[in-house]
Homo-oligomer: A and B are copies of this chain.
Amino acid sequence: MKFFEDVEVGETTRFGRYEVTREEIIEYARQFDPQPFHLDEEAARASMFGGLIASGWHTGAMFIRMVCDSMVPTAATSGSMGFDDLKWLKPVRPGDVLFVESVVREKIESRSRPDRGTVKIESRVSNQRGEVVMSLVSLVIYMRRA
């Protein structure tokens, strides 16, 4: 397991593989983000996006799924406090295959809770053409070694 002490500023990790399907884009949109360009192929073609695109919050969900599959099993994390500066940079479309690159930007020790610390991680989600589709800076809680 990787604890707060084991995390190094500057550390870079590439992980994940998420195949984006039309069915999942529409299913997510129906449940949470029913805007025409996420929901309906015809309406999407007529929109500024020129075709169906995933909800940005759905892209965030794909990101956390890749984090859960690749990073969480070997990291002594205890969730996240939030994040800064999330940008949706490019549309995510059916057939895209996404991956993540993360860089540790900062480690912040907790004054009030000596058993943990916060790690600031900048992540970029990219598609199969290497285009960054989403970026964000997460504040992740890591436990210290006992």
Interface residues of A in 54-78 (CB under 8 A from B): 55-57, 60-62, 64-65, 68, 72, 78
Q: What is the interface of chain A mostly: helix, strand, loop, or mixed?
A: mixed
Interface residues contributed by chain A, number (CB under 8 Å): 29
Contacts A37-B79, A82-B86 given; does A64 touch B72 at CB 8 Å = no
Give which listed residue, B56, B64, B84, contacts A84 with CB less than 8 A: B84
Kindly state whether residue A128 has any CB partner on chain B within 8 Å: no
- Whether A88 lies near B81 (C-beta < 8 A) is yes
By beta carbon, the residue of chain B nearest A69 is: B34
Number of copies of this chain in the oligomer? Answer: 2
Return A74 CB to nearest CB of chain B, in Å: 14
Given the complex of chains A and B, what is the CA–CA distance between A64 and B39 in angstroms? 14
CB-CB nearest in chain B for A138? B86
- Quote the shortest CB–CB distance from A108 to chain B (angstroms): 15
Q: Which of B55, B56, B80 contacts A82 (CB 8 A)?
A: B56
The 5 closest A-B pairs by CB, nearest first: A82-B87, A32-B61, A82-B86, A32-B65, A33-B64
